[in-house]
Amino acid sequence: MSFDIPSDSEEDDPDWLEGLQSGGDDADADFSGSSPPGEEEGAPDWLPDSSSEDSRSTSQSEEGEVPDWLAGIREAEESLQQSIVDPSSKLPAEGDSPDWLKSIRDQQVEETGSMDQAGDVPSGDFIGRIQQLQAQESAGGGADETQEWASGVGGEESPIAGETPSWAAGEQAEGADGPDWMSGLGGEEPEPQAEAPDWLAMLGSQQSPEEHPTAQISQSPVESGEARDWIGDIGGDETEPQGEALDWPGDIGGEDTVPQGDALDWPGELGDQPPGEDTSAEMAKSRVEGDEAPDWLSEMVGEEPAISPAFPAFTAGDQEGAAAVVGPDLPDLPGEPDEVKMPSWLDSLQESSQDVEVPDGTSVFDVPVPAAFTDEGESFLLEPTDLPDWLSEDVPLEVIEEPPARVETGDIDIAPAELPSWLQAMRPVEAVSLPVEAAVEARPPGLEESIGPLAGLSNVLPAEPDIVHFGTPSVPITGINITETQQNYARLLESLVIGEEEVHPPRKRVVALPQQILRWAIAGILYAAVFFPILLGGQSVPLPSTDNVIAEIQDVAVIIDGLPENAPVLIAFEYQPGLSGEMEAAAAAVVDHLLNQGAHPVVISTHPTGPGLAENFLQSTQSHHLFISDRHYVNLGYISGGTAALLHFAADPRAAVPLPLEEGGSGWDKSPLTGINEIRDFTMVLVISDDPDAARGWIEQVGPFLVDPSNPQSRTPLIMVVSAQAGPLIYPYYLSSPKQVDGLVSGLSGGAYYENTTNRPGLARLYWNGFSAGLIVSIIIIIFGGLFNLARLFLTSRRASRQ
Amino acid sequence: MNRLKFKAPIATVIAILAGWGILFTYILPLDNLRNTVLSWVVIAAAAALLVGVINLLSVHLGKLRGETGVSLYSFSLIFALIITFTVTLLQGPEKEFPQWLFTYVQIPIESSLMAVMAVTLTYAGARLLTRRTNAFSVIFGIALLLALLGAAPILSTEITFLREITQVLSGAGARGILLGIGLGTVATGLRILLGSDRPYGG
């Protein structure tokens, strides 16, 4: 089977294409049937020449610069369709079909002779043909033939720049420029090749309809014997051993010296063509994309030149692996394994790869390299000059140690953003940011960061000071900007809070020296004026005259004079120990008068110190009375509760003050309390008080109980001896009508008056001279002090007015 | 604060109920009930007095343990309290030693403090016009002098009309005060009875 490959080689073909075309090994010869091996001149036939490509490109400009070979395929298909539709229609004339297609047809003609033995095969069913071939092989040959074509594809010849691979070269054997089908792809005249598969004939045929590969296919079924030939031709070198059966991938990958990285340079080389000629692959690709080309061809052509140099899979060392990868699934290819020869174009690729320097080292991808893709002696790679620029560049597979290029922002004008006021307020104060700024300033300007994600950038804030800083910072870190005024307020608030918890000792009042002297002077004068008359015992100052009738005092005398003998009199001691001197002086004469009248005193108090004061009063002022000295009086003690206790006592004295006796019984059953069931059973009630509230309590709480409900006119008299400070507040009760207080003795003067009235000299007489002197001194001091202050004030104001 | 909030409504309710109850005892013939409640008050008042004494003791004991050091006044107070309480509790208030303590310790101390007040008041009277010089200060000074002059005979001369003036003026003032006290007492009682005033933490 041969493939008619048009051999338009008038134009300059890329080197690798020329290599393909010049490949004229046996495989190519068998494959093509006519092309001698070793021809490595010119571009492969299946790839159009530059001139032919230009002509075709111009002709195909309307098709969007479709490659010539692809255009040929289209035309072939169109003719095939026309033949299918109208079998009577002729295929495009011989002059219209591309040369490569013609060559393919010629090959097919030769092949159909053998293929007819296998039976009719529908046109275009190349898979069916392959199956037929397999069947023939299995009947006639070994299974190794399945690998023959693959090994034959690899071939011994390495593709070099400008050379077609061996298998491709074998295809061009018919023509002057390698296998016919390949030459047909390149626009050359198809060369008769004995063994060209039909599907290849379809691709390259541009010959007459009878030379159309489809027609050839339909007309000449593939013989089983010769069907495998094309595959074997594709395999290339027949002398390749079985071990190298699958060398073609390795051949494709290149020689042993070819590193793994560039093992498959030929795809790149396919694209690496001179500018004027670097359209074959694209054209082929476009044809493949546009038309329904076989997948293997589309894969070959469709691969972009952008294959990385680190294409991993194929190296020049692992041939066995390659053999394993390829596997035995390939159909039985014609020819012995040894007879399978690599196509010339593959050989040319291998030869060209010998000169390509591929860096040593590990492959980028850890993939076991098939043995078929490694070849010790042959290389499938194209020459470096055929590779595209980007493929031919030696890119070292190294770890990038240098940091990436620094981004130059000098040319970029970046204006500083205007921060809003609220954001500026959140800016940390300089005291906080100083460490960072200091650290930044300490670093040399323009220093690039060497580690971390910011490697390569300059003017980066140092992270180390903030990261490795332990402990409390020297400068307090604040998140907000606090003004001095706010700090002062904060300190003030803190001091106030702390001050609430502290216990401050009482401050000593500091008095100025002149004031202290004045105080001592006043005290001395007063003490002297009061004590000397008492110590001297003088009574020069007369007592208040009885000519001036003081009614409230005289009523007391009258009431007491009217008491029967042995009358129980309730005496309440409701004053404080501090005012005992005045109260004893005021009440001594009254109590003495009572005792002289034969009254039996019953003492009670609502103050805790009352019972003690009562005892002291009676023993100090009334001890001359035998009744007192013998303690024949009753002391009811202290009743708690204040006003409530008075009410309770007034309502039920026996209940308020129980008097249990040791020998049993109650003290209320003994004299003088015999017959006392209610408070009004007392003959008289005498209240001695220095507090107006206590006096009012007796008046308001006890007074109503002193009135006999059966006879409102009968009422137990209530007499009060009060201090001079409480007299004015109790006097209205005396003046009320009906009287709530029957008699009132107020202060030392009242006691003196009562003593003068009853002609019973007592403490009042004793204190009267001193009292009078002290009173005069006090008046003088107050007058002189007032006058002095007024004069000073007048002079100060006058001086101020003058100034 | 949570305890106070819990107790306050209950205390207020009890105060209101007790006030209305005692008031009704004056209207209705419930004298026995009133007397019973009053007896409870007497006992509670006595207990409150005892609690006050204990609180005073604890306060001064805390001052002794305070950071400012031992306070002499607090120590004296605690010492005197313990002695007096113990002696009076064992012997009784009418016995000789408790009476002696009262007669020769408590009465002189309190009397002396009252006597110093006389000097202080005289000094304050002399400096009355220094602190505040206005008409009211002058009127107060004149009234003070008149009261002092009418309280006792001056150089064996008794000025009775001054006494009558002061007595009338003072009586008038006292009446006004007493009326205010009476009205305030009624208003306070009504506020407590109606629950408007809650002096028990409500």
pLDDT digits (tens, 9 = 90+) for A200-209: 555 555 444 4
B38, B49, B99 ranked by CB distance to A648: nearest: B38
In this complex, is the C-beta atom of B142 within 8 Å of any C-beta atom belonging to chain A? no
Taking CB atoms and an 8 Å limit, are A782 and B39 in contact across chains?
no
Among A368-382, A610-624, A653-667, A711-725, the minimum mean pLDDT is found in A368-382
Q: Mutate one of B31, B34, B36, B41 to test the A interface: name it (highest A CB count within 10 A).
A: B41
Residue A450 lies in a domain: no
Residue A800: C-alpha distances to residues A426, A530, A796 (Å):
57, 42, 6
Q: Which of A382, A411, A146 is nearest to A255 (CA)?
A: A382
Q: List strands edge to edge, sheet with A718-722.
A: A634-638, A600-605, A568-574, A684-689, A718-722, A743-746
Residue A641, token pair as written in the block: 């509760």
Q: Which of A148-162, A667-681, A690-704 is modeled with the greatest confidence?
A: A690-704
What's the pLDDT at B153?
A: 76
Q: Which of A531, A544, A594, A534 is nearest to A752 (CA)?
A: A544
Q: Rounded distance, CA A711 to CA B72, Å?
A: 61
Nearest CA in chain B to A753: B152
pLDDT band at A740; cut points 50, 70, 90: very high
Residue A246 lies in a domain: yes
pLDDT at A175 over 50: no
Taking CB atoms and an 8 Å limit, are A612 and B38 in contact across chains?
no
Among A358-362, A427-431, A623-627, A747-751, the minimum mean pLDDT is found in A358-362
How far away is chain A from the Cα of B195, in angstroms, using its nearest Cα? 21
Which residue range forms the structural domain that includes residue A253? Answer: 15-391
**pLDDT digits over A91-149, tens only?**
444 455 566 777 777 776 676 655 544 444 444 456 777 778 777 766 654 444 444 44
DSSP state of A97: S
pLDDT band at A215; cut points 50, 70, 90: very low
Give the number of other Cβ atoms within 10 Å of residue A241's Cβ. Answer: 11
CATH number at residue A693: 3.40.50.10160
In this complex, is the C-beta atom of B175 within 8 Å of any C-beta atom belonging to chain A? yes
How far away is chain B from the Cα of A641, in angstroms, using its nearest Cα? 5
Radius of gyration of chain B from its Cα atoms, rounded to whole angstroms: 25
pLDDT band at B201; cut points 50, 70, 90: low
B103, B114, B171 ranked by CB distance to A579: nearest: B114
Residue A124, token pair as written in the block: 């275009």
A540, A578, A635 ranked by CB distance to B113: nearest: A578
Q: Mutate one of B30, B100, B119 to test the A interface: name it (highest A CB count within 10 A).
A: B119
Instruction: Among A391, A424, A446, give the residue marking a domain's end.
Output: A391
Residue B2, token pair as written in the block: 């949570």
Instruction: Concatenate the DSSP letters of all residues of A250-293 into one string.
Output: HHHH--TTS-STBTTHHHHHHH---TTTTTHHHHHHHHHHHTT-
DSSP state of A572: E
Instruction: Among A376, A391, A406, give the residue marking a domain's end.
Output: A391
Work out the percent of chain A whose per-residue pLDDT is above 70: 48
Residue A509 lies in a domain: no
3-state SS string for A333-356: CCCCCCEECCCHHHHHHHHHHHCC
Nearest CA in chain A to B31: A651
3-state SS string for B132-181: CCCHHHHHHHHHHHHHHHHHCCECCECCHHHHHHHHHHHHHHHHHHHHHH
pLDDT band at A546; cut points 50, 70, 90: confident
Q: What is the mean pLDDT of residues A433-445?
A: 57
Sorted by sequence, the CB contacts under 8 Å of residue A271 that are 6+ apart come out as A278, A281, A282, A303, A304, A305, A387, A388, A391
How far away is chain B from the Cα of A668, in angstroms, using its nearest Cα? 18
Residue A263: C-alpha distances to residues A44, A249, A346, B61 (Å):
21, 9, 13, 102
Q: Rounded distance, CA A803 to CA B6, Å?
A: 68
Q: Reduce the DSSP state of residue A475 to 3 states and report it.
A: coil
Residue A148, token pair as written in the block: 């023959």
| Residue positions counted in chain B | 202
Instruction: Among A345, A367, A391, give the residue marking a domain's end.
Output: A391
In this complex, is the C-beta atom of B134 within 8 Å of any C-beta atom belonging to chain A? no
Output b/e per residue, A395-430; b: 16+ Cβ within 10 A: eeeeeeeeeeeeeeeeeeeeeeeeeeeeeeeeeeee
Q: Rounded distance, CA A535 to CA A525, Å?
A: 15
pLDDT at A227 over 70: no
What's the pLDDT at A470?
A: 57
Q: What is the mean pLDDT of residues B58-85?
A: 86
Residue A56: C-alpha distances to residues A4, A48, A66, A262, B25 (Å):
18, 9, 8, 33, 134
Taking every pair of Cα atoms in chain B, the longest distance, rounded to a whole number of angstroms, is: 68
Q: What is the mean pLDDT of residues A53-76?
A: 58
Give the number of other Cβ atoms within 10 Å of residue A434's Cβ. Answer: 14
Residue A153 lies in a domain: yes
Q: What is the mean pLDDT of residues A596-608?
A: 93
Q: Rounded distance, CA A223 to CA A121, Å?
A: 10
pLDDT band at B48; cut points 50, 70, 90: very high
Enumerate the β-bridge partners of residue A686. Answer: A571, A719
Strands, E assignment, A323-476 = 339-340
What's the pLDDT at A16?
A: 63
What's the pLDDT at A344?
A: 72
* Partners of residue B113 in chain A, C-beta under 8 Å: 578
Helices (H), A622-702: 626-629, 643-651, 653-656, 692-697
Residue A433 lies in a domain: no
Q: Rounded distance, CA A192 to CA A7, Å?
A: 11
Residue A692 lies in a domain: yes
pLDDT at A580 over 80: yes
Residue A670 lies in a domain: yes
How far away is chain B from the Cα of A779, in angstroms, using its nearest Cα? 6
* Partners of residue A797 in chain B, C-beta under 8 Å: none
Q: Rounded distance, CA A116 to CA A133, Å?
A: 12
Give the number of other Cβ atoms within 10 Å of residue A95's Cβ. Answer: 9
Q: Rounded distance, CA A314 to CA A363, Å?
A: 10
Peptide bond into A672 cis (omega under 30): yes
Q: Which of A307, A403, A311, A305 is nearest to A359 (CA)?
A: A311
Taking CB atoms and an 8 Å limit, are B127 and A789 in contact across chains?
yes
Look at chain A and report how many structural domains it folds into: 2
In this complex, is the C-beta atom of B66 within 8 Å of any C-beta atom belonging to chain A? yes
Q: Rounded distance, CA A413 to CA A421, Å?
A: 24
Peptide bond into A14 cis (omega under 30): no
Q: Rounded distance, CA A172 to CA A24, Å?
A: 7
Taking CB atoms and an 8 Å limit, are B125 and A781 in contact across chains?
yes
Residue written as token pair 């110590």: A535
Question: Is the CB of residue A684 less than 8 Å from the CB of residue A599?
Answer: yes
Residue B195: C-alpha distances to residues A242, B7, B188 (Å):
118, 15, 10
Q: Rounded distance, CA A155 to CA A339, Å?
A: 10
Looking from the CA of A6 toward its CB, the CA atoms found within 13 Å total 36
Q: Rounded distance, CA A659 to CA A634, Å?
A: 10
Residue A45 lies in a domain: yes
A548, A635, A771 ranked by CB distance to B160: nearest: A548
